[in-house]
Amino acid sequence: MQRLVLAFINSMRALKHLAQHEKAVQQELMLFILAIPVAALIAPTGLSFLLLTGSVLFLIMIEVLNTGIEATCDAVSLDFHREIQIAKDCGSLAVLISVILVATVWVYTVWSVFFF
């Protein structure tokens, strides 16, 4: 149980840091806060609500991992290295794929609710 409590404390420390210092995470947290009531209004089912809000949480998770990759790369070296560029670009691609997923889930749901 103590291990779970310590893991939770570490996670909250990371969330606090990201929410204070990372613009992308700040924007995505605001998106999530806005997504909850909007999803509650437009989701035809509980599963749809979970998909709408879960997709945004998935985006936040990928952004957190991307930030971790960037921080690790910067801790290794601030000089240009092709391998570090590839690692950072891969993290960025993961975020882009997540954004596409969020957009697809939201557009599909809105389309199916209002146009079917």
Query: Which residues form the catalytic set?
Result: 63
79 annotated binding-site participant: no
76 annotated binding-site participant: no
88 annotated binding-site participant: yes
Cα separation of 102 and 12, whole Å? 24
Q: Quick one: DSSP state of residue 79? A: S
63 annotated binding-site participant: yes
110 annotated binding-site participant: yes
H-helix segments, the chain: 2-21, 23-42, 46-76, 82-115
Any idea what the Cα angle at residue 15 is, between residues 91 and 87, rounded to 5°? 15
Query: In terms of Cα–Cα distance, which of 32, 50, 34, 31 is closest to 109?
Result: 50
89 annotated binding-site participant: yes
Cα separation of 104 and 31, whole Å? 15
83 annotated binding-site participant: no
Binding residues for substrate: 3, 24-28, 63, 92, 106-111
Sequence ranges of the binding site: 3, 22, 24-28, 63, 70, 88-89, 92, 106-111
Annotated binding-site members for ATP: 3, 22, 70, 88-89
- Binding site membership for a divalent metal cation: which residues? 22, 70
